[in-house]
């Protein structure tokens, strides 16, 4: 929103120094993205393993091969 | 808005990269998983491990296809999102590189920090390797290792950035790399070892499994970096104008 660009019509891809995105504009997206990613990684990496929110073994069993191959400890 | 656009593009890049990584894992990883499960079955006889039990909650075929795909896509999408946020912060701050070059640099750093360095201490293990009783401990140490690796990388980057201003990019980068290396050696030697490979487990299967695991991550991170670089370049060229 407060990100400002050079007024030139030519895209600042090469040559011009890149303009940093203000931290204020980044923060809400960073919170949202971080939360989303942590939830996704939790279900792939740890649910029904070391920790368990949902009872049973179905989540663990479904992502089993991925969990091993992605390097997470698994049973 | 540009941050949101980058986040969405990061997740898309991660998702597509994950599909490529799935193909790699399916070809090179699954045969080793099957061999490890066969070893486990032979060791335990009939009463085995949960997956071998009579009432399998999820069949091997599903685990090796939809299950594997789902896990890798979730992982890739999650890291694609995190990656794009780091990129959004680093762009124009870390250096003056183009979006494509910065994306590739950060993807390499991400692979190193989140995958390769933690894996050197706590390598990925196939089924049959690892005692269920120590799962909580191993999960804790594994995530702690990733956390420490990230922290050390942040420290090295900050030091490198400060030195780059004072003494130039060459010295700054070398000092950062050297500092990361030295601190990681110290941290890794201080962390507890885990050695739970069962007697008689084929060394080649273990090695091939780990190769496949790290190779799959390399496919994921490199294609994510290349893809995101191209997407980010467009987003940064077009987005800022009006909005």
**pLDDT for residue B56:** 73
**pLDDT for residue A16:** 66
Distance between CA B192 and CA B141 in Å, rounded?
A: 8
Please tell me the distance in Å from B11's CA to the nearest CA on chain A: 9
What tens digit of pLDDT does each residue of B186-196 get? 999 999 999 99
* pTM attached to this predicted model: 0.89
- Which residue do the tokens 């401990």 mark? B137
**pLDDT for residue B243:** 40
Mean pLDDT taken over chain B: 92
Mean pLDDT of B49-69: 78
A3-7, B166-170, B234-238: lowest mean pLDDT where?
A: A3-7
How many CB pairs below 8 A link A and B? Answer: 195
CB-based contact, A42 to chain B, within 8 Å: no
Rounded (10°) angle between helices B99-110 and B68-90: 130
**pLDDT for residue A47:** 87
**pLDDT for residue B242:** 40
* Shortest CA distance from B32: residue in chain A: A69
Of A20, A37, A64, the CB nearest to B81: A37
* Shortest CA distance from A56: residue in chain B: B57
**pLDDT for residue B1:** 82
Domain range list for chain A: 23-69
Pairwise pLDDT comparison (B16 vs A11), residue with the higher score? B16
Give the ipTM.
0.90
Q: Which two tokens stand for residue B37?
A: 């499960």
Distance between CA B212 and CA B208 in Å, rounded?
A: 6
Mean pLDDT of B204-211: 97
How far, CA to CA in Å, does B73 sit from each of A44, B13, B18, B55, B69? 10, 11, 5, 27, 6
Please tell me the distance in Å from B124's CA to the nearest CA on chain A: 4
**pLDDT for residue A55:** 87
Query: Would you give per-residue pLDDT tens digits along chain A (75 residues)?
Result: 556 555 555 554 555 678 899 999 999 999 999 999 999 999 999 888 888 888 888 899 999 999 999 999 987
What percent of chain B shows pLDDT beyond 90? Answer: 86
CB-based contact, A48 to chain B, within 8 Å: no
B197: chain A residues, CB-CB within 8 Å: none
A61: chain B residues, CB-CB within 8 Å: 50-51, 56-58, 63, 67
What percent of chain B shows pLDDT beyond 70? Answer: 94
CB-based contact, A36 to chain B, within 8 Å: yes
**pLDDT for residue B16:** 98
Query: Does B2 score more than 70 pLDDT?
Result: yes
């Amino acid at each position: 929103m407060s990100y400002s660009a050079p007024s030139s019509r030519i895209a600042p891809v090469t040559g011009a120094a890149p303009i940093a995105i203000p931290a204020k504009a980044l923060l809400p997206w960073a919170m949202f993205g971080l939360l989303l990613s942590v939830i996704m990684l939790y279900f792939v990496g740890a649910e029904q393993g070391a920790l368990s929110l949902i009872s049973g073994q179905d989540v663990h069993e479904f992502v089993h091969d991925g969990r091993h191959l992605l390097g997470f400890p698994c049973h | 808005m540009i941050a949101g656009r980058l986040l969405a593009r990061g997740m898309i890049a991660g998702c597509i990269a994950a599909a490529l990584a799935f193909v790699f894992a399916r070809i090179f990883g699954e045969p080793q998983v099957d061999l490890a499960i066969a070893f486990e079955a032979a060791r335990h006889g009939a009463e085995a491990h949960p997956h071998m039990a009579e009432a399998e909650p999820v069949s091997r075929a599903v685990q090796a296809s939809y299950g594997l795909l789902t896990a890798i896509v979730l992982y890739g999408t999650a890291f694609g999102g995190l990656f794009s946020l780091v990129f959004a912060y680093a762009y124009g701050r870390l250096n003056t590189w183009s979006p494509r070059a910065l994306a590739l640099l950060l993807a390499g750093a991400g692979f190193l920090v989140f995958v390769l360095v933690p894996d050197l201490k706590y390598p990925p293990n196939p089924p049959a390797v690892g005692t269920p009783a120590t799962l909580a401990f191993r999960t804790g140490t594994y995530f702690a290792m990733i956390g420490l690796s990230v922290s050390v990388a942040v420290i090295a980057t900050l030091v490198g950035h400060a030195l780059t201003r004072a003494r130039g990019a060459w010295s700054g980068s070398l000092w950062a790399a050297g500092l990361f290396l030295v601190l990681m050696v110290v941290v890794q030697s201080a962390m507890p070892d885990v050695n739970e490979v069962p007697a008689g487990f084929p060394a080649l299967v273990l090695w091939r499994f780990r190769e496949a695991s790290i190779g799959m991550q390399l496919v994921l991170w490199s294609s994510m970096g290349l893809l995101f670089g191209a997407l980010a370049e467009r987003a940064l060229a077009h987005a800022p104008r009006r909005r």
